[in-house]
Structure formats: structure tokens, C-alpha cells
Amino acid sequence: EVPLVESGGGLVQPGRSLRLSCTLSGFTFGDFPLTWVRQAPGKGLEWVGFIRSKAYGGTTEYAASVNGRFSISRDDSKSIAYLQMNSLKTEDTAMYYCARDLGRLDYWGPGTLVTVSS
């Protein structure tokens, strides 16, 4: 069983918004930080951002490429983390993964594909 599953991807026009979800099961969601990583078609891995556990304030960090456009939040009662993506650009087209973040990323979801195109 895959403990993390992403959802919410799809085709969206440039300038629009999309919200991705990352659902966890099998371990105590609230105890762990989570990271989002993306991979453009045929390219390498790019770290997008991170949210700390509530015990550490639930604060966030973002890559410069998405800072100010993307935001990460979490609802520990539902074991879900969100990646809110605003002002989307064609270069945001990628497979988006969430991962449990122990520094190393030990559990990954299968990913959800976001395509930004007119």
C-alpha cells in the first residue's frame, strides 16, 4: 500500500490556479513534515516547497521559482496536505510529487500531472 497519494492535477490555462492534495495513510500524519517535488517532462527533479509539522509551527519554505505564487498548507485532522498553485505558467508543467520529509525523502506518492497550456 502506498502511504501517500497525490490528486488534483489536470490541464489548466496559464494564469489560472490549481490546488493539489496529498493524502497520507499508515502513519501519524501530523508528526511529519512534507515536501513537494516536481519533474518537468523529460527533466530532473526540482524541490518545490516544504511544510513543517504543527509541533514546529507548521511553517513553510519555497523554491525561488514558485515563491509568492505557490503555498503549502496542511489539515492534520484529515491527513491531507495541499499545494495551492496560483498564476500558473507554462513552465510549471510537471509531475508533482509529495514526500515525507525526514531530510531524506523516504516515502513518495505516485505523483499527479499538471499541464499548463492554452
In the complex, the residues that contact other proteins under the rule CB under 8 A are: 35, 37, 44-47, 50, 61-64, 97, 102-106, 108-111
Residue 98 grid cell? 509529495
Query: Cβ closer to other proteins: 18 or 37?
Result: 37
Residue 112 beta carbon to other proteins: minimum distance, rounded to whole angstroms: 11
DSSP designation for 87: S
Give the CA-trace dihedral at 113, 24, 86, 51, to 10 degrees.
-130
Residue 62 beta carbon to other proteins: minimum distance, rounded to whole angstroms: 8
